[in-house]
Amino acid sequence: MTFDVAGLRAQAEQWLADDPDLMTSSELSRLLSELPGSAAELADRFAGPLTFGTAGLRGPLRAGPNGMNLAVVRGAAAGLVRWLAAKGAGGPLVIGYDARHGSKAFAEETARVATGAGRQALLLPGPLPTPVLAFAVRALGAAAGVMVTASHNPPQDNGYKVYLGAEIGGPAGAGAQLVSPADAEIEAEIRAVGPLSDVHLGPAGETLGDEIVADYVRAAAGVVDPDAPRELAVAYTPMHGVGGTVLQRAFSAAGFAEPSVVEAQAEPDPDFPTVAFPNPEEPGAMDLVLALAAETGADIVIANDPDADRCAVAIPTPSGWRMLRGDEVGVLLADHLMRRGVRGRYATTIVSSSMLRALAEQRGAGYGETLTGFKWIVRAGEDLAYGYEEALGYCVAPALVRDKDGITAALLVAELAAGLRTELRTLGDRLDELAAEFGCYVTDQLSVRVDDLSEIAAAMTRLRAKPPVTLLDEPVTIEDLLPDADVVIVRGAGLRVVVRPSGTEPKLKAYLEVVEPVHDGDVTASRERASASLTALRTEMAAALGIW
């Protein structure tokens, strides 16, 4: 491939002249000095700016417009505060951050941009979970909130998420992630910022005290029934993230014993040294906490992802520990809340198990189904009582945190498990009971990570051009959600497949579901049939997509 070296040099020099960060400007100067050998690297960094979407910004930490760095953050913050002013939104900007490389500096830069524009900036008191920021936006009557995090992305990434206050977000969107058209409007304001040297920077803003964290912990502990059993042994990992201390405080406040914690993963570490990817869903990520559970004789395993907005659960079985799928935990928690008498709408997404619909219909509860992402789930209705997505995200108290929250979800899992324990039953037993009542809804996922995003587009094009006619020897129908969403849904008798690009990672995902009825109460036989069908469905869809 040939590159316009002179054009790349001009772009880099122009960026360099406006870069406020000595570290990234030095990095860019080095690449300039290595031209033409560094042309491919520079071309990637200047391939285009990170786009401010409904998930905010997310990308690798590096110099240039196609990365996360102080210059990009200053521009994003300036665009955001201009947009808030144009909307006439009153109140402070609340800013949180995790323990990733650059997070604190990005948060402080955002605060200085906000105060420079005349808006009060409130910084959370240290690296904290994303749910604490979402809580603070509502609790403090903020115009908006910013959370600097890349959640469960690799260590070289960082990100910038925006939450709306009640004035702009409305009743269903107060404290929730932004949705369109706000993302496009903020993006337009960012592009209109001009030279970064012209952005006025004010003082560092006000750093809040521990009271906001204590308020969150107290409110989180309130999701648990005060009269429910508390005896439970939990093995836990925050996976080198920021959830550990807050979760332990919440467990203590709710009356549970503090969990046993994986020592090697207990403290925040932006390099995530013990895992290949800091995501509980990734192979090997749960190995250390499962070993701790076996060593301590724990009743259940709980894990948070690095910013603690997700919650993973594993249970003991006769053949060893088994991690529950997000759909299994999602249905368990929904059933638990319904049986506790929590009324309102129970919502999930088009890629999650369809079992929640069956559960809601049988229990007489409201049901909502949305596009993928919590920004949509929490807007399923003002009467939202509970929402979940299969990717280990659960909103168990929408009035508290209008987003997925791995801390309150962990508390509710513990309440359910402790209650079952007093009856000599387990989470696995409850899943069997639900399967006997509703059938076996078995889900899985095909997921491929790519280096070239064009591979994902090509696979989606192939699927649309030549969709399968049958799957598992059953005729299927095809539903294409374009132009509203890049999603293809394949349905047949007792099966469903949803194919979409990931919104946060360079992955193509196919969500598989097989439903098998249970005959004569034989759940084991039904699961075996469903598992065999799921294996076959995986093979057939891999061939249809032509990317695996």
The residue extents of the domains of the chain are 1-47, 53-209, 214-435, 440-545
Note the pLDDT tens digit of each residue in 289-311: 999 999 999 999 999 999 999 99
Please state the rounded mean pLDDT for residues 30-50. 94
Percent of the chain's residues with pLDDT above 90: 94
- In angstroms and rounded to an integer, the radius of gyration of the C-alpha atoms of the chain is 24
pLDDT band with cut points at 50, 70 and 90 for residue 449: confident
Please state the rounded mean pLDDT for residues 350-379. 96
Angstrom distance (rounded) from CA 514 to CA 493 = 9
Smallest CA-to-CA distance from 278 within 239, 247, 243 is with 239
Residue 410 tokens read as: 């962990």
pLDDT band with cut points at 50, 70 and 90 for residue 344: very high
234-237 vs 260-261, strand pairing mode: parallel
Q: What is the model's pLDDT at position 114? A: 98
pLDDT band with cut points at 50, 70 and 90 for residue 548: low
Please state the rounded mean pLDDT for residues 476-485. 95
Which of 25, 38, 103, 151 is flagged as catalytic? Answer: 151
Please state the rounded mean pLDDT for residues 384-393. 97
Note the pLDDT tens digit of each residue in 199-211: 999 999 999 999 9
Q: What is the model's pLDDT at position 51? A: 87
The residues, ordered by sequence, that sit 6+ positions from 531 with a Cβ below 8 Å of its Cβ are 442
Please state the rounded mean pLDDT for residues 426-447. 96
- Whether residue 130 contacts residue 243, with contact meaning beta carbons closer than 8 Å, is answered with no
CB atoms within 10 A of CB 476: 18
| pLDDT greater than 80 at residue 503 | no
pLDDT band with cut points at 50, 70 and 90 for residue 53: confident
CA angle, 456 then 329 then 347, to 5°: 70
Please state the rounded mean pLDDT for residues 34-38. 94
Q: What is the model's pLDDT at position 454? A: 87
393-395 vs 440-449, strand pairing mode: unpaired
pTM (predicted TM-score):
0.95
Q: What is the 3-state secondary structure (H, E, C) of 51-62?
A: CCECCEEEEEEC
Q: Where is pLDDT greater, at 123 or 507?
A: 123
| pLDDT greater than 90 at residue 2 | no
Q: Which CATH number fits domain 53-209: 3.10.105.10, 3.40.120.10, 3.40.50.300, 1.10.3720.10?
A: 3.40.120.10
Local structure of 445: helix, strand or coil: strand
**440-545, what's its fold?**
TATA-Binding Protein (3.30.310)
| pLDDT greater than 70 at residue 456 | yes
Angstrom distance (rounded) from CA 225 to CA 428 = 22
The verdict on whether 533 is a catalytic residue reads: no
| pLDDT greater than 90 at residue 546 | no
53-209 shares its CATH topology with 214-435 = yes
Angstrom distance (rounded) from CA 56 to CA 59 = 10
Q: Where is pLDDT greater, at 53 or 372?
A: 372
Please give the CATH number for the structural domain made up of 214-435: 3.40.120.10
